[in-house]
């Protein structure tokens, strides 16, 4: 599932109690048995489930109601053999992830932004909200990430996309503290400070060598 996408530069302000896209656990896990890590099989079916059964609720409610999963596009940027590793600020919007390293650029899908747009359109828009990039991107859906081992993971699910860029000219915007390109093996130096999703993505990339 790979396609060419154009460069965009759209900035959308963050609203704390926005209406965000969620899906009931019962739709995502009909057998009640979720998985831990990145699921790579049956992802087209899961994406269709999200499209069919999504609804919107206030973020303040969704963050503490684990009957639902907030669906987060989680984009990993790569230029040639280097990946964009980012450090979240100490006062990041999501306080549970403050001062953590991340490999993924992600954000909630808001109701006002989804009219006429797909999940992947939103991933592109979110990417350009978080970073400045001059170039062309190709994206590939790697899998769907689930981690119920912590309070953040219990209410979120991530669509992991790999964004391959034709330029190394990428830099952070104001929501992040730092960002730099590193080879995959070098990411291991930051593992102890990584958020859980980033650790899972790192392990997946190492094993699959996509």
The CATH number covering residue 125 comes to 3.90.79.10
Give me the mean pLDDT over the 6-33 stretch.
73
The pLDDT of residue 28 is 95
Do strands 156-165 and 68-79 pair parallel, antiparallel, or not at all (unpaired)? parallel
The answer as to whether 194 is a domain residue is: yes
pLDDT tens string 195-207? 999 999 999 999 9
* Mean pLDDT, all residues of the chain: 86
**CA separation, residue 145 to residues 111, 141, 142 (Å):** 22, 11, 9
- Residue 109: inside a domain, yes or no? yes
Phi then psi for 207, rounded to 5 degrees? -75, -40
Q: Given pLDDT bands bounded at 50, 70 and 90, which one contains residue 187?
A: very high
Report the alpha-carbon distance of residue 190 to residue 101 in Å, rounded.
Answer: 7
Instruction: Classify residue 152: in a domain, yes or no.
Output: yes
Residue 161: other Cβ atoms inside 10 A = 25
DSSP codes of every residue in 53-121: H-EEEEHHHHTT-TTEEEEEEEEEEEETTEEEEEEE-TT-SSGGGTT-EESEEE-PPBGGG-TT--HHH
- Helices 43-53 & 119-130 angle (0-180, nearest 10): 90
Up-side HSE of residue 136: CA atoms within 13 Å toward CB?
6
More confident residue, 156 or 17: 156
| Closest by CA position to 199, among listed 155, 149, 165, 163 | 149
pLDDT score at 90: 62
pLDDT digits (tens, 9 = 90+) for 42-77: 999 999 999 899 999 999 999 999 999 999 999 999
Q: For residue 46, what pLDDT is reported?
A: 92
Residue 10 lies in a domain: no
Between 25-29, 76-80, 95-99, 182-186, the lowest mean confidence (pLDDT) is in 95-99
* Residue 100 domain-assigned (yes or no): yes
Does residue 11 lie in a domain region?
Answer: no
7 within a domain of the structure (yes/no): no
Q: What is the mean pLDDT of residues 135-159?
A: 93
- Positive or negative: CA dihedral 145, 10, 169, 193: negative
pLDDT of residue 15: 45
Q: Which residue segment(s) compose the domain that 75 sits in?
A: 17-208
Judged by DSSP in three states, 5 sits in strand
pLDDT at 140: 92
Per the rule left: phi > 0, alpha: psi between -120 and 50, beta: everything else, 193 is alpha
Higher pLDDT, 168 or 89: 168
Mean of pLDDT values over 129-139:
92
Q: Is residue 162 part of a domain?
A: yes
Mean pLDDT of 167-192: 92
Q: How many domains does the chain have?
A: 1
Residue 92 confidence (pLDDT) above 70? no
């Amino acid at each position: 599932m790979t396609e060419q996408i154009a460069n965009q530069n759209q900035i959308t302000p963050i609203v704390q109690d926005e209406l965000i896209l969620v899906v009931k656990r019962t739709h995502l896990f009909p057998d009640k048995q979720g998985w831990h890590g990145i699921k790579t099989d049956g992802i087209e079916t899961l994406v269709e489930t999200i499209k069919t059964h999504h609804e919107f609720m206030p973020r303040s409610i969704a963050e503490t109601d684990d009957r639902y999963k907030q669906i987060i596009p989680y984009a990993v940027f790569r230029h040639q053999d280097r990946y964009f590793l980012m450090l979240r600020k100490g006062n990041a919007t999501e306080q549970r992830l403050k001062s953590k390293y991340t490999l993924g650029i992600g954000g909630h899908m808001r109701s006002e932004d989804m009219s006429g747009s797909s999940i992947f359109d939103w991933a592109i828009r979110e990417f350009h909200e978080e970073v400045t990039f001059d170039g062309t991107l190709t994206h590939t859906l790697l899998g769907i990430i689930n981690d119920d081992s912590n309070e953040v993971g219990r209410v979120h699910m991530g669509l992991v996309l790999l964004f391959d860029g034709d330029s190394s000219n990428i830099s952070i915007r104001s929501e992040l503290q730092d960002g730099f390109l590193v080879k995959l093996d070098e990411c291991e130096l930051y593992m102890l400070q990584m958020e859980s999703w980033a650790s899972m993505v790192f392990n997946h990339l190492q094993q699959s060598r996509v």
